Amino acid sequence: MMENQKTKEKRKYTVPALENAFQILRLLSRNRFRESTVTEIANALSLNPATCYRILQSLEGYSIVRYIENKKRYTLGPYLVVLGERAKEHLDYLTIIMPYLEKLTKETNMTSILVNKIGEDKLAIVAKVEANDFGVSVSVGRHFSITDGSFGMCFLANMDIEQREYFLKHQKGLKTFTEEEVKLIERDIDHIKENGYCITYGEYIKGLCGIAAPVFTSENEAEVSIELIGFTSQFEKDDLHSKGILVKETAEEITRNIRRFV
């Protein structure tokens, strides 16, 4: 199925050099590529090595990436720390949401995370509160596909059907979907919207369960979602619905509080 018109129009205005620079930074943020050569970066992103080198040189000039001379490798640069701290100061909803994540983790003994949309089809963990006593450990900055996990389903449930089906059929994430699975997801979407939360139980990462609900930063825009993560060995799936209601009610309260400041 072809992309919907809205997605097409947005992608008309991409700037290749800027897009490539962002892809490089995102790659270097991954543990596997945290220190990489030009060749490794170019191969991973299917970039021309000369183009990749010129972009890295420009980013290095602004201390956005750093070149490790003795290793001949690039890594993320120190100025990103400054930008990250400034971004936190300007993202008012982080200040609003963090106490709720702390409360959720305290009440459930599950790790709570805040997931933000990155562009049209990517997600990233932007905040976390990890549970004590063998709770799930997560990394802020980890990227996912919009089709991944219970948090991804929250975003998909609030898209139009054409865009949702396109991502489910074409986006590469933790799981690929058969035609039959796409049909089953479409069947479950109304149920997810009605409940206000989504539960996954080992379907994406073996041994992990997740409970997520969307936060609406504007009237119809789900820009972020909150999620509880735990081990399937700790919880029966049927017992997660009570926590789902808690996550949904928390997300609704966050939504109301955010809109007061918008």
Does residue 174 share a domain with residue 76?
no
Q: Is pLDDT at 227 greater than 70 in this prediction?
A: yes
Long-range contacts of 157-160 (CB under 8 A, 24+ apart): 157/189, 157/192, 157/193, 157/198, 157/214, 158/193, 158/214, 158/220, 158/222, 160/4
Looking at the domain assignment, is residue 161 inside a domain? Answer: yes
Does residue 138 share a domain with residue 37?
no
Q: What is the mean pLDDT of the chain?
A: 87
pLDDT at 8: 46
Q: Which domain holds residue 58?
A: 5-81
Last residue of a domain, one of 58, 81, 104: 81
Last residue of a domain, one of 81, 106, 122: 81
Count of domains forming the chain:
2
Looking at the domain assignment, is residue 86 inside a domain? Answer: no
pLDDT at 187: 86
DSSP string, 157-210: TTS-HHHHHHHHHH--SS----HHHHHHHHHHHHHHHHHT-EEEESSSSTTEEE
- pLDDT tens-digit map of 157-208: 988 888 888 898 888 888 888 888 888 888 888 889 889 999 999 989 999 9
How crowded is residue 40: how many other Cβ atoms within 10 Å of its Cβ?
Answer: 16
Nearest to 104 by CA among 219, 215, 6: 215
Range with the lowest mean pLDDT among 60-74, 174-188, 223-237?
174-188
pLDDT at 103: 96
- CATH number of the domain encompassing residue 207: 3.30.450.40
Q: Any idea what DSSP says for residue 148?
A: S
Does residue 74 share a domain with residue 117?
no
Rg (CA), the chain: 19
CA distance 232 to 209: 6
The percent of residues above 70 in pLDDT, for the chain, comes to 92
Does residue 97 share a domain with residue 74?
no
Mean pLDDT of 232-251: 94
Does residue 103 share a domain with residue 33?
no
Last residue of a domain, one of 37, 61, 81: 81
Nearest to 101 by CA among 71, 125, 81, 134: 125
- CATH number of the domain encompassing residue 67: 1.10.10.10
- pLDDT tens-digit map of 4-27: 444 444 445 568 889 899 899 989
Residue listed under structure tokens 């060995």? 233
pLDDT at 13: 59
- Under a CB-based contact definition with an 8 Å cutoff, are residues 104 and 246 in contact? yes
Does residue 237 share a domain with residue 145?
yes
pLDDT at 118: 83
